[in-house]
């Protein structure tokens, strides 16, 4: 069930009505839990068992960690949680990849090895909820939060449907306290939430889904297309993946908001970043902060000297790449970002830090960063390494061998307007302004018009969100 | 990575207010205003989204060409036409019926949904190039030169094309043949509700998004009776102009685009114009050393847009161009039974069997004549 599907609107309307008509916080949480499981079961009910397993393991492990008499016992329970969660993730997501890669390596070394693969599908959202549950046990282990005695609370935290399948990755420390208090509808910023949902919908259905056919066309057979077409496809893909994923995040935040819960921001106009470090503070913020807090810092962060800092950066980004999918393309994407971050850190050491950039040098920095990010997207999107290298070569040096073109349509003219609007939305807190200054009649009229426009922009057929596959 | 800052909260804080009955009413009113605004905006978009000339369903054409080659190299009759031909002509049954009557013929159904006469000419060229031996091409003079609602832009427009279907349903009940009229009356309320829900509330578009299929056999998206109506020529346009003022604009725009799409941009799209087009297609067929014939497939009386053409062709060209006019309820009352129709203008499987029985002797006679 996608947020852009009509059945979701019906589902959510029913859930919201039931939820807000109940006074008791306990029953409300029960409603949320049932709704979340139903939401997930709409995709495949069999994989609910994995969510239940993860929930029970982390619930138990957290309590045991807290009650453990010694540090050794605490660590044991944490390891159990890590092994179970990462083991499930490995089995479903990475087993085939590593099995195949190992076999290919052995064959390359002259040792004949056949490999086995598991004939299983990837449970949607597994990477997201695994990281989410892990953050809970790790935070309890680090004594940042207390273990919860309520299994219901942990279950809702793990399965909360607005962010279950594609984030934002919510930390227990952010979410669990919200479950303690009764939500009041009067405190819900309804206009802001509805606007945010519509913005997300337009990003996903209006922009991303309309761009997708052109991107698919070129990335499907890059050898057939000319330089201009390949350049366009790479730029369009950058727009597609941003609109797709940030659109989903916007909708998730809005849906949670309409139920009275706050989810963290996941994107902050990342393509306006002046360097890669800033890019990662603005792109998929909940993942990058997760990787920072639970991986980069656990590896030692920047406390163990300069060399180990570079190593930690590379390792974090490589694993970050691998988190997105079991493929060498994602690993390469992570490696590119790791290298870029290392180069940026190194250049910061050489040059004086802290001085502000002038406007023109800021614009150049944004352009260079964006150019590099697009280069990395090529490896993220292309079907295989061969296609990636072909497209990357054209992106860096031009000279495509094909002559195919893609129809640009109205997008060429619309693109500057969309970028300008995007920049304005980032600079101005439009949601607060709408919530505080726009009257209900005015909002209703504008909303009705915008729904009509957004439906007019929606192409037929669904494209699942790109990040569902991760 | 090292100095990632905590992001700002995406949603603003709001001060609490006491929930009151007044607030509930306000909320209800806000929803109503939003719905009204949505409907008005939909109307506006309906009249302003551009339509464009659609292209032939080339994959379907290629599949057909492949298929006809597999079926054999010589055919006595190849039927060319729109979905009415595609759904209504059962070649195996026609051949079997003809065989019972002592004449051996081999037929092929080359119907493609919405196939216009201009496109028929293109197909004829492709058929000729492929070297398939054909004695007679029986073509349906489907006069639509512009097909809306089947391309990228018009797909969006489909959602907003609303009152036309609803009003059309109401108006057409008075001009439908009795059997279909009864069917419509019987189901009127459900159709009205369906039309309203589908078109005015957006549910139709949403359900179309949910079940993205073009298959009319599902009957979920395009209600057959609602779908059958389109103002395609001046005659039906006049009817609309008289009934609903805002249709003037719609029909006007439509006519303009039909003119642009016609062979001669300056030509008026009229029965006379189409008459010339039929003769043109017939000449193209003759140039290929194939005999032409015209078939009018059965359709309800209320679909008026081809009647002038039928009358004119029948009266003026029967001697030089054989006309098989099956669109005569007065002669073929058995064929025009409601049970033989899938919808208001397409025969179902049973209807195709009945038609085959009626067509077989006509084709045998045509074969003997040729």
d(CA B321, CA B306): 17
| Residue from A2, A4, A5, A6 whose CB has the most chain B CBs within 10 Å, to mutate | A6
The string of DSSP codes covering B332-353 is -TTTT-GGGBSSSS-B-HHHHH
For residue B152, what is the nearest residue in chain A, using CA coordinates?
A459
| φ, ψ dihedrals at B111, nearest 5° | -75, 135
Q: Which residue has the higher pLDDT, A384 or B61?
A: A384
pLDDT of amino acid A31? 92
Cβ <8 Å between A462 and B40: no
- The residue-averaged pLDDT of A361-365 equals 79
**Beta-carbon separation of A265 and B7 below 8 A:** yes
pLDDT tier, A364 (very low <50, low <70, confident <90, very high otherwise): confident
Nearest to A268 by CA among A259, A260, A280: A280
CB contact A440 to B (< 8 Å)? yes
CB contact A193 to B (< 8 Å)? yes
Contact (Cβ atoms closer than 8 angstroms) between residue B297 and residue B327: yes
The residue ranking higher by pLDDT, A288 or A469, is A288
pLDDT band at B137 (very low <50, low <70, confident <90, very high): very high
pLDDT at residue B312, as a whole number: 73
What is the per-residue pLDDT for B238?
32
Residues of A in contact with B45 (CB under 8 A): 452-453, 456
Question: Predicted confidence band at B206 (pLDDT cuts at 50, 70, 90)?
Answer: very low
Per mean pLDDT, which range of B50-54, B93-97, B108-112, B183-187 is the poorest? B50-54
Average the pLDDT over A146-173 and give the result: 87
B9 or B180, greater pLDDT:
B9
Task: With cut-offs at 50, 70 and 90, classify the pLDDT of residue B359.
Answer: very high
| pLDDT for residue A141 is more than 60 | yes
CATH 3.40.50.1110 location in chain B: 58-144+289-369
Contact in structure between B53 and B83 (CB atoms under 8 Å): no
CB contact under 8 A, A456 and B31: no
**pLDDT on residue B61:** 66
**Residue A437 confidence (pLDDT) above 60:** yes
Cβ–Cβ below 8 Å for A187 and B30: no
Which residues in chain B are closer than 8 Å to A263, comparing Cβ atoms?
Answer: 10
| CATH class given for the domain over B58-144+289-369 | alpha beta
What is the predicted pLDDT for the residue at B4? 41
Q: Hey, are the CB atoms on B206 and A316 less than 8 Å from each other?
A: no
Would you list the domain boundaries of chain A? 6-182, 190-469
- Kindly tell me if the per-residue pLDDT of A416 is higher than 70: yes
Q: φ and ψ at A385, to 5 degrees? A: -65, -35
The pLDDT of residue B200 is 46
pLDDT tens, position by position, A298-308: 888 777 777 88
C-alpha distance from B358 to closest chain A C-alpha (Å): 41
* Between residues B65 and B74, the one the model is more confident about: B74
Radius of gyration of chain B (CA): 25
Region B39-68: mean pLDDT is 61
Report the pLDDT value the prediction gives residue A407, as an integer from 0 to 100. 65
Q: Which of A155-159, B23-27, B204-208, B328-332 has the highest mean pLDDT?
A: A155-159
Distances (CA, A) of B271 to A54, A237, B234, B322, B326: 71, 50, 9, 19, 19
Among left, alpha and beta (phi > 0; psi -120 to 50; other), residue B267 is: beta
User: What are the start-end ranges of the E strands in chain B?
Assistant: 74-81, 107-111, 133-139, 291-296, 323-325
C-alpha span between B80 and B90 (Å, rounded): 13
Question: A431–B40: do the CB atoms touch at under 8 Å?
Answer: no
pLDDT tens track for A307-355: 888 888 888 888 888 778 777 888 888 899 988 888 888 887 776 555 5
Lowest-confidence segment of A301-315, B87-101, B200-214, B222-236 by average pLDDT? B222-236
State the pLDDT at residue B99: 93
Does residue B180 have a cis bond before it (omega within 30 degrees)? no
CA-based nearest distance B25→chain A, Å = 12
Question: How far is the alpha carbon of A39 from chain B, nearest alpha carbon, in Å?
Answer: 16
Q: At A371, is the pLDDT very low, low, confident or very high (cuts 50, 70, 90)? A: very high
Q: Rounded mean pLDDT of A407-427? A: 74
Q: How confident is residue B11, by pLDDT bands cut at 50, 70 and 90?
A: low
Asked if A182 reaches chain B (Cβ–Cβ under 8 Å), the answer is no
How far is residue A404 from each of residues A229, A380, A395, B264, measured CA to CA in Å?
Answer: 7, 22, 16, 33
Nearest CA in chain B to A267: B7
Range scoring the smallest mean pLDDT among A323-332, B30-39, B110-119: B110-119
Residues sharing a CB contact under 8 Å with residue A71, sequence separation 6 or more, in sequence order: none
Q: In sequence order, which residues have a C-beta less than 8 Å from that of residue A355 and are 6 or more positions away? A: none
pLDDT at A133 over 60: yes
Which of B12-21, B50-59, B111-120 shows the highest mean pLDDT? B111-120
Most confident range (mean pLDDT) of A208-212, A330-334, B262-266 is A330-334
Which of A263-272, A355-364, B290-299 is least confident? Answer: A355-364
Assess whether A351 carries a catalytic annotation.
no
**Among the listed residues A371, A162, A139, the one whose alpha carbon sits nearest the alpha carbon of residue A276:** A371
Answer yes or no: do B11 and A431 touch at CB < 8 A.
yes
Q: Which residues of A touch B15 (CB under 8 A)?
A: 187
Which range (A315-329, B207-221, B263-277) has the least confidence? B207-221
Q: How far is B44 from chain A (nearest CA, A)?
A: 10
Mean pLDDT of A70-96: 82
As a whole number of angstroms, the distance between CA B51 and CA B157 comes to 8
CA distance to A8, A55, A415, A421, B62, per residue, from A207 (Å): 20, 36, 10, 13, 33
R_g of chain A, CA atoms, integer Å: 23
Which H/E stretch holds residue A173? helix A172-180
Q: Which residues have a Cβ under 8 Å from the Cβ of B361 and sit 6 or more positions away?
A: B98, B101
Contact check, Cβ <8 Å, A341/B30:
no
* Cα nearest neighbour of A460 on chain B: B209
Instruction: Tell me whether A185 touches chain B (CB under 8 Å).
Output: yes
pLDDT at A256 over 90: yes
Q: What part of A 211-230 touches B (C-beta under 8 Å)?
A: none
Mean per-residue pLDDT, A432-444? 86
- Considering only CA atoms, which of A367, A375, A364, A366 is closest in space to residue A397? A375
Chain B closest-CA separation from residue A126 CA (Å) = 24
Least confident among A72-86, B58-72, B344-358: B58-72
Query: Which helix H or strand E contains B205, and what residues bound it?
Result: helix B203-210
Contact A186 B156 (CB under 8 A): no
Name every chain A residue with its beta carbon within 8 A of the beta carbon of B155. 459-460
Give the count of Cβ contacts less than 8 A between chain A and B: 145
Q: Find out whether B240 and B247 touch, Cβ atoms under 8 Å.
A: yes
Does the beta-carbon distance from A186 to B16 stay under 8 Å?
yes
Q: What is the 3-state secondary structure (H, E, C) of A35-91?
A: HHHHHHHHHHHHHHHHHHHHHHHHHHHHHHHHHCCCHHHHHHHHHHHHHHHHHHHHH
Cα separation, B30 vs B23, whole angstroms: 10
CB within 8 Å of B235: residues ≥ 6 apart: B304, B305, B308
pLDDT for A112 equals: 66
pLDDT band at B136 (very low <50, low <70, confident <90, very high): very high
pLDDT band at A414 (very low <50, low <70, confident <90, very high): confident
Q: CB atoms < 10 A from the CB of B256, how many?
A: 11
Of A79-83, A136-140, A412-416, B87-91, give the lowest mean pLDDT range.
Answer: A412-416
Which of A10-24, A391-405, B177-191, B293-307 is the least confident region? B177-191
Best of B10, B37, B222 to substitute, by most chain A Cβ atoms within 10 angstroms, is B10
Strand partners, B108: B78
Highest-confidence range of A116-130, A456-470, B206-220, B289-303, by mean pLDDT? B289-303
The catalytic position among A144, A184, A324, A337 is: A324
pLDDT at B240 (0 to 100): 30
Nearest to A444 among B23, B34, B39 (CB): B34
What pLDDT was estimated at residue B192? 53
Residue A415 confidence class, pLDDT cut points 50, 70, 90: confident
pLDDT of A433 over the 60 cut: yes
- The DSSP secondary-structure symbol of B331 reads T
> Is pTM, for the whole model, over 0.80?
no
Task: Give residue A254's pLDDT band: very low, low, confident or very high (50, 70, 90).
Answer: very high
Whether the predicted pLDDT of A253 surpasses 60: yes
């Amino acid at each position: 069930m996608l947020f852009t599907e009509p059945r979701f609107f019906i589902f959510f309307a029913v859930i919201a009505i039931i939820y807000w008509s109940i006074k008791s916080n306990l029953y409300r949480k029960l409603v949320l839990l049932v709704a979340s499981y139903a939401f997930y079961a709409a995709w495949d009910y069999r994989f609910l068992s994995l969510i239940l397993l993860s929930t029970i393991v982390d619930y138990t492990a957290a309590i045991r960690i807290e009650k453990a008499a010694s540090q050794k016992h605490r660590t044991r329970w944490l390891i159990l949680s890590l092994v179970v969660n990462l083991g499930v993730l490995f089995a479903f997501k990475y087993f085939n990849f590593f099995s195949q890669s190992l076999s290919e390596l052995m064959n390359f070394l002259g040792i004949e090895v056949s490999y086995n693969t598991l004939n299983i599908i990837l449970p949607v959202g597994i990477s997201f909820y695994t990281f989410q549950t892990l953050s809970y046990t790790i935070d309890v282990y680090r004594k940042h939060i207390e273990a919860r005695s309520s299994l219901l609370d942990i279950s809702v935290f793990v399965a909360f449907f607005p962010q279950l399948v594609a984030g934002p990755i919510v930390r227990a420390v952010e979410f669990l306290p919200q479950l303690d208090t009764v939500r009041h509808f009067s405190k819900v910023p309804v206009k802001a939430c509805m606007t945010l949902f519509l913005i997300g919908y337009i990003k996903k259905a209006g922009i991303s889904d309309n761009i997708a056919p052109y991107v698919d066309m070129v990335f499907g057979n890059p050898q057939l297309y000319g330089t201009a077409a390949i350049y366009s496809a790479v730029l369009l893909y950058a727009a597609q993946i941003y609109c797709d994923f940030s659109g989903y995040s916007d909708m998730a935040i809005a849906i949670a908001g309409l139920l009275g819960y706050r989810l963290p921001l996941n994107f902050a106009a990342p393509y306006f970043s002046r360097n890669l470090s800033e890019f990662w503070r603005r792109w998929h913020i909940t993942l990058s902060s997760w990787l920072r807090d639970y991986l980069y810092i656990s590896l030692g962060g920047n406390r163990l000297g300069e060399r180990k800092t570079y190593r930690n950066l590379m390792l974090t980004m490589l694993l970050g790449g691998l988190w997105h999918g079991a493929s060498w393309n994602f690993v390469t994407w992570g490696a590119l970002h790791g290298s870029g971050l290392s180069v940026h850190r190194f250049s910061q050491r050489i040059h004086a830090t802290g001085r502000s950039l002038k406007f023109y040098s800021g614009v150049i920095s944004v352009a260079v960063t964006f150019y590099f990010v697009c280069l990395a997207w090529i490896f993220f999107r292309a079907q295989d390494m061969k296609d990636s290298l072909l497209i990357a070569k054209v992106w860096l040096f031009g000279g495509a061998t094909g002559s195919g073109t893609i129809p640009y349509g109205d997008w060429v003219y619309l693109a500057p307007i969309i970028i300008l609007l995007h920049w304005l939305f980032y600079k101005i807190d439009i949601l607060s302004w709408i919530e505080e200054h726009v009257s209900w009649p005015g909002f209703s009229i504008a909303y009705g018009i915008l729904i009509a426009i957004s439906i007019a922009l929606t192409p037929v057929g669904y494209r699942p969100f790109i990040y569902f596959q991760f | 990575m090292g100095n990632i800052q905590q992001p700002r909260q995406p949603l603003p804080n709001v001060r609490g207010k006491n929930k009151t009955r007044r607030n509930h009413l306000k909320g209800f009113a806000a929803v109503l205003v939003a719905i009204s605004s949505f409907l008005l905006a939909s109307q506006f978009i309906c009249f302003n989204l551009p339509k464009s000339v659609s292209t032939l369903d080339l994959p379907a054409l290629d599949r057909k060409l492949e298929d006809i080659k597999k079926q054999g190299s010589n055919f006595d009759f190849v039927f060319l036409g729109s979905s009415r031909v595609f759904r209504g002509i059962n070649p195996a049954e026609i051949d079997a019926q003809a065989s019972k009557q002592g004449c051996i013929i081999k037929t092929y159904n080359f119907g493609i949904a919405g196939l216009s006469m201009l496109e028929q000419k293109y197909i004829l060229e492709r058929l000729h190039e492929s070297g398939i031996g054909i004695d007679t091409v029986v073509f349906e003079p489907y006069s639509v030169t512009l097909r809306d609602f089947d391309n990228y832009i018009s797909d969006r427009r489909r959602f907003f094309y609303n009152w036309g279907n609803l009003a059309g349903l109401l108006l057409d009940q008075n001009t439908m043949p009795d059997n279909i009229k009864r069917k419509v009356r019987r189901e009127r309320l459900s159709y009205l509700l369906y039309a309203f829900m589908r078109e005015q509330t957006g549910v139709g578009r949403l359900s179309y998004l949910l079940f993205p299929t073009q298959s009319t056999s599902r009957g979920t998206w395009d209600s057959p009776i609602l779908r059958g109506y389109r103002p395609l020529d001046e005659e039906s346009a006049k009817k609309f102009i008289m009934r609903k003022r805002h249709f003037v604009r719609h029909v006007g725009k439509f006519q303009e685009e039909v003119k642009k799409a016609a062979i001669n941009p300056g030509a008026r799209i009229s029965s006379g114009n189409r008459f010339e087009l039929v003769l043109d297609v017939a000449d193209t067929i003759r140039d290929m050393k194939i005999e032409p014939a015209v078939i009018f497939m059965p359709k309800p009386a209320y679909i008026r847009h081809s009647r002038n053409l039928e009358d004119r062709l029948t009266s003026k060209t029967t001697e030089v161009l054989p006309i098989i006019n099956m669109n005569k309820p007065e002669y073929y009352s058995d064929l025009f039974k409601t049970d033989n129709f899938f919808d208001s203008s397409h025969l179902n499987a049973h209807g195709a069997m009945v038609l085959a029985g009626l067509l077989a002797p006509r084709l045998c006679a045509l074969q003997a004549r040729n």
